[in-house]
Chain A
Amino acid sequence: DQQVKQNSPSLSVQEGRISILNCDYTNSMFDYFLWYKKYPAEGPTFLISISSIKDKNEDGRFTVFLNKSAKHLSLHIVPSQPGDSAVYFCAASMDNYGQNFVFGPGTRLSVLP
């Protein structure tokens, strides 16, 4: 059973609008979360992170929100650009050294010009 879920396999958004990617987790021991972006034929690259002591973290056009009681986090991209088209993975960790991350299945975002 997957501990980290991304229930939307794909999402299409118009350029300039907001993209919202969702992630749910089942293990309340997770206390650190990351988002990775992956282009075809490349490895995933780190995008943004949030620890459980926060409910929001912002970096430019990217904002991650964490709702611990709902075990839910979301990634907002505003405004969306065609270059944001990629697969986005949510990942969660609970170990003290940040070694073990559990990844979700990914959401493919397409930003349409």
Chain B
Amino acid sequence: DVKVTQSSRYLVKRTGEKVFLECVQDMDHENMFWYRQDPGLGLRLIYFSYDVKMKEKGDIPEGYSVSREKKERFSLILESASTNQTSMYLCASSPLSGGAYNEQFFGPGTRLTVL
């Protein structure tokens, strides 16, 4: 059974704190993604990675950075958390298909609250 796990289901942090969200997949997928989900806005792509140490900006990268040191692990970093980063964060992975399209497999999400 394929699996994407996220380190925390719920997280509460204070403004200005550095926050790490971890994601691990066990499917040997090349692609990994970080989204945030907000009411009325759906899922918006923050960053994605198609290989170890590679990263690409998504639609809303401001205030975030990412790290991919190992193929199975993709971390999202909030350098200095702000209240407008309170959201549900979803990690996903997919294989590199070489031309065909593939569904993304999602983790359960981390609900982050920044006070």
- The 19 listed contacts between A and B (C-beta, < 8 Å) are A4-B42, A9-B40, A36-B106, A43-B92, A44-B90, A46-B103, A46-B105, A91-B43, A97-B50, A97-B96, A97-B98, A98-B100, A99-B50, A99-B94, A100-B45, A101-B104, A103-B44, A104-B42, A105-B41
* Residue of A6, A49, A99 most packed against chain B (CB within 10 A): A99
In the complex, residue of chain B having the shortest beta-carbon distance to the beta carbon of A106: B42
Q: Are A97 and B43 in contact (CB-based, < 8 A)?
A: no
CB within 8 Å for A43 and B4 given contacts A89-B43, A103-B44? yes
Beyond A97-B97, A100-B48, 17 extra complex contacts between A and B, CB < 8 Å:
A6-B42, A43-B90, A43-B108, A44-B43, A45-B106, A46-B103, A97-B99, A98-B97, A98-B102, A99-B50, A99-B94, A100-B58, A102-B45, A103-B42, A103-B44, A104-B42, A106-B42
- Is B61 located at the chain interface by the 8 A CB criterion? no
Q: B-side binding surface: helix, strand, loop or mixed?
A: loop
Q: Are A41 and B40 in contact (CB-based, < 8 A)?
A: no
A102 to B45, CA, bound (A): 8
